[in-house]
Each structure stands twice: as C-alpha cells, then as structure tokens.
Amino acid sequence: MAIEGLTQEQVQAAADTVQVHKFGGSSLADAFCYRRVARIVTEYAGASDVVVVSAAGDTTNRILAIIAAAKKPGDTAAILLEQLEKFQLGLINELLGSDLAQSLCQLSNADFERFRRFIRGEESISRDAELLAYGELWSARLLAALLRKQGTRAEHIDARDFLCAEDAPEPLIQEQVSREGLLQRVAPYPGTRFIVTGFIARGLNSESLTLGRNGSDYSATLVGSLLDAKQVTIWKDVAGVYSADPRKIERVVSLPALDWSEAEELARLGSPVLHPRTFQPVNRERMVISVRSSLKVENQQTRIGQFEHAEPRGKVFTSLSEVVLFKIELNDKRLVDQLDELDLEPIFSWTEPEKHHQYLVFHQNHLDYISRWLEQIDNDNAVTQIRGYSMVALVGDRIQETDQYTTFKLQLSEQKVRRFGLGEHGNSAIAILEQQLDSRFLNRLHSQLFNYRRSLGVLVLGRGNIGSAWLELFKQQRDRINQVMDVRIIGIANSKRLWLDYGGVELNAWSADFDRLARPYVLTELLRELPNAPYDELVILDLTDAKPIAQLYPSLFANGLHIISANKRAGSAHESLYHEIRTIQHEYKREWLYNTTVGAGLPLNYAINDLRAQGDEIRSISGIFSGTMSWLFENFSADTAFSDLVAEAKERGYTEPDPREDLSCQDLVRKLLILAREIGLKLDWQDIEVNSLVPEHLRDISVAEFMQRRSELDEPMNEMLESAAKDGKVPRLLASFSVSEERRVKAKVGIEYIPAGDMLANLIPGENIFVIYTDWYSEMPLVISGPGAGKQVTAGGVQSDLNQLLGRLSAIS
C-alpha cells in the first residue's frame, strides 16, 4: 500500500536496513549508563537504526509517587518533584556541558513547571499517563542530544506523534495509521539514528496512553513490526536467556537460540527476562529478537526466531516460588461461561470430573487482578482460592521425547506433586508442588537436567610469538582438553586492543578476526566485568613481558581469576609487591602457575616442588638459565662478530624485544629470583651480584639506536674470548645461588670461564642447563637440560600449566 510522501523504494529500504534496539530504565540509570548506551548505539547499531528507550532509572516510580502525593495535603509532592528535577537536570548538565545543555534544560524546565501547576491545582490532568510519558520523553531527548554531542546524527521522536491506539486495559494499536506515521518520520532520513520513546502512545481522542507492564519491550517489537524490520535487539542487564534464572541457580548455561514457541512458553510461565506481550506484534517468519547485555556487551546473546530443530531438547528450567490455585465449581455453568471470557491465560489448568472441579493456576502477580474480577462477577462462593503452592517447569521443543523429561519426572517423584502435565503445545512439562521451593532442590534438579560440566574461561594477554603459538596449540588439543572441563577462549588482547566474546572466540581465523573485531580497552576497567562472565572459573594467560600487568596480579586474584604466566615480572618483583601478590593469592585461594618463566617448557618448577614435597632440601642451583644467551655464546667464536649474533637472535625472536634485557643479565636475575623464591628463600634484587655485558654508554639509549651501535659490544667481548682461550676455556654466562646451613644465600649472575670440555661449555645452541644440588643429590647433582628458548617449547610449557590447572580445579569440584 502506498504511503503519502514516500516511494516504495524508501519503504523497502527502511525494512531492509533499519533495525530496532531497546534500552530499559536500568540501562539509563545514571550518567555513566547513558555514556555506555551511547557507545553501544554508536558501535553496535547501524547508521539508520531506531532506538527505543524507557524512563531513566526509577523515574516512572518517582512520577507515580508525585501523583499519589499530590492527592494528599502537605508539601510531599513538591519535595519529590524537586528531587526528580534535580536528578534529570543533573543528568543533562553532566552529560552535555553548559552550552549544549541550555536548550534541553529550557525544555525540561517547562515540563517541570507543568508538574508544579498540577501539584498546585492550577492545571487539571486527569490521566496519569500524561505525566508518566515525560519519563520516556526526557530519556529520548537526552540520549539523542548526547549522541549529537559525540558526532552522531541523531534525533528523538515522541511515539505519541505516530503510535495511535484505542484505549483499553491493553491499548489496541491502530496499525495502518501508526505504520504510515512512523515511516513518514524515519524513511526519508537514512543515516540518522532516531531515539523513540517506549511505553507510551496517543489515544483516539488525543489523550496519552501507556502500554502497560513491560511496555517498552512491547514498544520495541511493535516499532520493529511497523517498519517490517528483520531484527529487534533488547538490551538488558543480563546476557540473554539462560538454562535457569541465575539469581536462583548457581551454574546456568547461556542459550544461543530459542524458537518462538519456546520463548513464548517461557514468557507465559513467568520468565523474568521475557514477557508474553513482547511477541504479539512479531512477524515470526521475518523477525529475529536478540536479547543482549548492555552491561557486558561482548557476552553471549540469545536469538529468538524461527529455527529448525534437529532433535528435541529441554532448554530452560524455570520456577515460581509461589503460585495461586483457584478451585472452580463446575456445577455453576454461568461461572464457567464467564471464565471463558477472562482475558488472562492461566499458567496451568486441569479438571477433576469426578469431583466436578476445575483448577486454574495463576502467577502471584495476577492475584489482585483475579480477585477484583471475581468480586465484579459475583461468583457466589463457587471459587476457592488456595495458597502455598509453587511451580517448576522444563521448557523445550517436543519435550516429552527427551531424556530430560524422564529425568524431570523421576526427580519429582520424591516431592509433593499436586499435578504434573504438559503445556498446551507440548513444549513444556509443568509440575505444581504442594511445598515451598528450596534452593538446594532447585540446583540439584537443574544439574540433573543439564548434566552440568564445569567451565573455564581463558583470557589471553599477548598475541605475539608465544601467544600465537599457544593459540594454534590449543586449537589442536581443544577436543582432548574439553573432556576434562568446558574450556573456551573468551578473549585475546594485545597492549591496546581486546577481542572479547564470552560465548567463546572462533579460532579458525583468529588473527584476521582480531584485526576486525578487537576494540580499545583498559584492563582495570575490564576487571570490573570479568567476574560476572558466565563461567565457573576464569584464568588469565599472561604471555606478555609487561610490568603494568604484573602489578595488577593482586587485583586479578582478588577478582577471582587464576593466572598462568610466562611473564617474569611478577615472580621477580621487588619483595614488597611479591609478598602482596602471594598474600592475596592465598587469601582468595587462586592458582598461579608459571613454569615457563624459567626454562621455557622444561619441567623445572615441577621437579623442584616434587623434591621439596618428598622432604629434600635444595642447597644450590646453577647453570645456564637463558636459552638466548646459550645460543649467543655457543655460536660465538673468533670468526663471528658478537654484535651480528645479537642481531640474528633478535630477528629469530630469541631475545626480549630489547636485547639489553638479556645482555644486561636483567632477564637472568628475574629467573634467579623466581627459582630462589620457589624454594622459600627471601631474595631481592639488591642481594644478587650482577655483571652486565652492556657498556654504560649503551644503557640509556633507545632500542633502535642500540641496534645501530651494537658493534661497540665487539671489542670487550673479543677480549673476553681471548682471555678465556689462554687457559683452554670459553666464556659462558652463568647464574647461581647457594644456601648455607644457616640459610644464608649467595647469588650471582655473570661471565665465568669454563673448561672447553665441560658439559656447560658444550650445549646445543639455545639449550638451558640447571645443575641442582640437594641433601639427597649431594655427590652427583640432578641435571635438567633442554631447549630454553623458542615460541613452540614455551607454548608447550603454557599448555602444560593449563593441564595442571585443569587437574587441580577438577580435584576440588
């Protein structure tokens, strides 16, 4: 049908390109929330999308309180209005600044002046909806202005300008005139984001109407239907729909998809996330509803639409702690006929013909409505209200064909079941219980229904050589690992950008996806979100060399995260920070594994801990701790310039980004500290004797300049080589510490001359060697040697730490 002023192409373009987004009051509770919503709209909504908003925070309740107080003597209404005005004007000024705020404040001041006239009795406003509508109007105006301030084309629309409805307990939308009005406002302006008021409409007599409970969600799908949009996204404070209410059940599973019939049945049974009316306007063959979290945007989302089901499956376990039964006398035919006209569907119903009774079960929230209706029809005591009942239900496609249905019935056999049966369309199994619900019973039942398996979310910090190699290794071993726990990579980050997806990132083309999907982040801000991720356990893989991340280890532990670290900065931190890290780790009972910080993939820390667990005492550890320095010195000869070897090692990825970290022995000092602390010694930086290979004049210049001037290393290194050769020896960079009987520690790092035939002088380039003397290994030391550098062996060591973590977590589950 043609629409005045629009071409068919404009109408079709709106249907094909415009999507609808809805934000509720909790998503707009304060200025911080407004900015978050503005960011979501900018980044996740299309340039021509429509945004439906509710009143900010508890604004609607505040207006209702003002209306109620205005009917009573005293100045309570004026005080409440002053508080509301301060809140709204405060939002405007904080978000927009003085210049941009001026025009919006003038509009709001006029609105509040109308409230004051109403309170003083100078203006008669007979319908509450006329005042309630201001809540949504203020939100729409402010969000549109904030977007404009940030450089986005945005305008607000008062839904009463297009949404026409006939007044009724649930207003009846006049679809054709409403559709024409909305399209005339939106379709001619592609590239503009329109912010539309939810919850309100205009009556046939130009009066303001509200759309009732859950009116904003309904407004969103209604707007989507009028535009013939393909998708409506409802942004809430939860990340979609779960296998149970996470406020009641401890270990819930997020659901990627629900069919229309499943979603509607769940809503009918009292879902806190979904409301039945939300689905009324939807074109089920075209539209998809997405439920996402505005608090944790990257979280899993639930898509509701028309999907093909390969097999029957129970998806959601839901419960109501209190429901109300009404027993109806079937002998009263007049009452039975009137019940057929009741505009409210019961949750469950059944008939007992032998007793001439019918039972209707309603949600506790509907009790007042039912009671008033019964008073109006004069039921002559043919209806009995029965309290003290509860409900549990399992929702899913073809539920009776599932193994979960059998489990559900079996688990309920020990409970006081008043009635058990299927929902009308066969996609739910419902039990009415003569008992209060116990949280332990609910958690046990959910666990039995969904065969719960513990989950671990992994956040990878560092996507360089080691991070890239480990991600490829994990991809190869994922199936084996997931036999132990449900392990998913939830994020990959470098120093500036993060790709986060709580549903699990796809690793097949992760590098290209990172470039496309990663966004700027601040780790300290991310820490506020991570503890709410939908996983039983979380671990950060710190595959960086970043000191700022190491300084955050106490916060990571305090926020419930385990750590696997290839970063040596925390284990070798100054004693005060190291003590804080260990204290917080033990206080919060978190795991910290860091085998790769010394010896790459070698099982050095495991061997040391095993010796100590058996009762042995370690007296000294010495050797070549650096694969980088091993490679350099094993290749160093009179025929090779040391500076050229440094450049080659850097190019191969053997050195730290700044080779001076290796040459100055700082990296070796870190490893020495980590080993010493691993056996309980108190050792700090100032306690270690260090002989650096970097001349003083090369220490404080940039990396680039150092690499240009690296040939200045050659003369002193050649002198060292020649000096050692006079005695038939070769120079090697060694680290060592020893512990006396009195527990005094002597530690040093530097060049030593080793006989040319010694095992320390004849390693494979890149090999590490650790010589360990203990009480038990006092005459012949324990020697551990192997590759000490390289991304593959280090990635393997990280994987070994992950396997260790999974074993420990499984043991305590």
Which residues does the annotation mark as catalytic?
671
Q: Considering only CA atoms, which of 119, 218, 139, 201 is closest in space to residue 164?
A: 201
Residues 6+ apart with CB under 8 A from 199: 54, 55, 60, 132, 133, 135, 136, 210, 211, 215, 216, 219
CA pair distance 714, 695, nearest whole angstrom: 11
The Cα–Cα gap between 10 and 17 comes to 10
3-class secondary structure, 190: coil
Q: How many CB atoms lie within 10 A of CB 82?
A: 13
For 553, the token pair is 């280890």
Q: Which long-range contacts (CB under 8 A, 24 or more apart) does 84-91 make?
A: 84/59, 84/112, 85/112, 87/56, 87/57, 87/59, 87/62, 88/56, 88/59, 88/112, 88/138, 90/31, 91/30, 91/31, 91/34, 91/56, 91/142
Structural tokens at position 356: 């001439």
Comparing C-alpha atoms, which of 294, 38, 234, 266 is closest to residue 150? 38
Helix (H) or strand (E) holding 620: strand 618-624
Give just the sign of the alpha carbon dihedral 21, 26, 27, 29.
positive
Q: Of all residues in the chain, what percent are helix, strand and coil, respectively (each to 5)?
A: 45, 25, 35
Return d(Cα 601, Cα 790) in angstroms, integer: 9
CA–CA separation, 52 and 605 (whole Å): 57
Task: Return the sign of the alpha-carbon dihedral for residues 800, 802, 807, 808.
Answer: positive
CA–CA separation, 538 and 457 (whole Å): 5
Q: Is the separation of the CB atoms in 790 and 806 below 8 Å?
A: no
Lateral strand order in the sheet of 348-352: 348-352, 357-363, 313-329, 383-397, 428-433, 417-422
Distances (CA, A) of 764 to 573, 668, 761: 31, 19, 9
Helix (H) or strand (E) holding 172: strand 172-173
Measured on CA atoms in the order 721, 726, 731, 736, is the torsion positive or negative?
Answer: negative
Burial code (b: 16+ CB inside 10 Å, e: under 16) for 147-175 equals bebeebebbbbbbbebbbbeeeeebebbe
Over 332-361, what HEC string results? CHHHHHHHHCCCCCCCEEEEEHHHCEEEEE
CB-neighbour burial class of residue 451 (10 A; exposed 0-12, middle 13-18, buried 19+): exposed
- Which residue, among 94, 14, 10, 79, has the nearest Cα to 50 in the 3D structure? 14
Q: Which amino acid is at 46?
A: G
Give the whole-angstrom CA distance, residue 108 versus residue 92. Answer: 10
Q: How many helices (H) and strands (E) does the chain have?
A: 26, 31
DSSP 505: -
Four-residue CA torsion sign, 706, 712, 716, 719: positive
Cβ distance 224 to 284 under 8 Å?
A: no
CA distance linking residue 604 with residue 620, whole number of Å = 14
